[in-house]
Amino acid sequence: MSEERRKRSGWGRASFPRRTFLKGAAATAGAAALGGIPGILHAGQAPAYPKGTKLHLLQWLNFVPAGDKVFLAQAEEFGKQMGVEVQVERIGMNDVRTRTAAAIEAKSGPDIILIPNNLPHLYADSLVDVGDICEALGKEQGGFYNLPRANAFSGGRWIAVPQFVYSWGWNYRESWLRDIGYHKFPETWDEFREMAKKLKAKGRAVGQGFGHSENDPNNYCYALIWCFGGAEVEKDGKTVVLDKKGTLEAIKYNTALWKEGLDESGLSWDDATNNRAFLAGSLSVTGNSPSIYFVARDKFPEIYGDMNHAPMPKGPAGRFYQLPTLSSAVMKYSKNQKLAKEFVRWYMAKAQYEKWFDVMDTFAVPPTKMWYDHPVWVRDRKNIVFRDVIKDSLWPGYAGPPSRKASEAMAKYIIVDMFVKAIQGAKPEDALKWGTDELKKIYGA
């Protein structure tokens, strides 16, 4: 990996050999135990919260049900130890943004909200500083990767605690690729287009969604622009440069790919549509986390045995990913801020987090570097590709710094809709001009 790519991802060299990882686990758990629940109980102190205290956490409905099961059990354990009631409310990912905005407006609602992507920047003024948690966590666990930090750090302070980053890659049917002469997944976007064309000709199209859904459409569209050398703004975070050759080439490429190789119902898809279509045998290839693979393992053994995963193809500028981040935000309106921070600190500590990470089974990339050599990554060699995606990840608003304006652009689906306009018949140049003008409205250019 080039030095430039290491700097972008925050990768450096902080991986740990397995023996070091396992030896360090006890030390990390011990460090975490110096505060929070373990510290209170060790000191023989009664929990300092009135009887009837209730803590409310709002989070997404996990695509890996085993992860929800573990987290709910941990919430119950925390409640028993602290003598409080912990309510974990789970809703669809696309509904979290609306609920967050409504709670802030009403100054009432969940004490903790798991907020996706870079959206914490939109609500920064309403979020409690959690720097004490993040600084300790980073110190204990080898530091944070750049992407989760970018999505949870604003105005010189931590506004949320990154819980994890979604892994993402191309899920594909090995035998169907062999049928068209491919014994390995394409390395470049040009090769990808040729593969997709052959697959669609056999009635086995590639699936990619372009609807207003938090994850898959953004993951694909932002990454494609970066792979072709495009960007939203300059490093100053002010100068809009979307209307450059790289972005235009990405739009032209995708418009051709749509006609030649993609399933043309994708304009209305949400983040679960491609999962269902792949498992129904309607798609040959689709971009996703390994959640499809997990369902196939449990319910569709024929598809499971024929699946594999591949990284993002390389474009003229290289290989890049836009990966969703989920971050725990403590709300300023909460009357239980201290308790809320204790809960976040507790479930992010190694003793609890490892149990959750283990059942998430490569779906979740931890935000800190200590976990890179964890045995989870090599338990199934078909999933090892997901360990490295964070190394090539960028953040919305790149090459500028993370910002509220970049969050607003993503929240309005400007990048996704720019691609859609070209798919629906607009000239690529006109679609690009529309997207550029929309960004200029936000950035004040």
- Position 14 pLDDT exceeds 60: no
pLDDT at 195: 98
Which structural domains are found in the chain, ordered by start? 15-165+325-377 (3.40.190.10), 169-322+412-443 (3.40.190.10)
| R_g of the chain computed on alpha carbons | 22
> What is the per-residue pLDDT for 206?
98
Determine the pLDDT at residue 48.
73
Average pLDDT, the chain: 91
Q: Is residue 196 predicted with pLDDT exceeding 70?
A: yes
- Asked if residues 84 and 55 have their Cβ atoms less than 8 Å apart, the reply is yes
300: which 2 tokens?
A: 């569709």
Contacts of 78 (CB under 8 A, 6+ apart): 37, 86, 343, 346, 347
Segment among 17-21, 215-219, 349-353, 382-386 with least mean pLDDT: 17-21
- Note the pLDDT tens digit of each residue in 118-133: 999 999 999 999 999 9
Q: Give residue for tokens 């689906």.
A: 413
Give the whole-angstrom CA distance, residue 67 versus residue 73. 10
What span, in angstroms and rounded, lies between the C-alpha atoms of 348 and 146? 18
Can you tell me the mean pLDDT for 237-262? 98
Average pLDDT over residues 318-328: 97
Q: Which residues contact 225 (CB under 8 A, 6 or more apart)?
A: 231, 246, 247, 250, 415
Q: pTM of this prediction? A: 0.89
Percentage of the chain surpassing pLDDT 70? 89
Helices (H), 336-427: 337-348, 350-360, 404-411, 414-423
Specify burial of residue 311 (Cβ count, 10 A radius: 0-12, 13-18, 19+): middle
Q: What is the pLDDT of residues 63-99, one digit of tens each?
A: 899 999 999 999 999 999 999 999 999 999 889 999 9
Residue 262, number of CB atoms within 10 A of its CB:
24
Between CA 241 and CA 247, with CA 246 as vertex, the angle to 5 degrees is 65
The whole-angstrom separation of Cα 321 and Cα 9 is 10
**Separation of alpha carbons 228 and 245, rounded Å:** 9
**Maximum separation of any 2 CA atoms in the chain, in Å:** 70
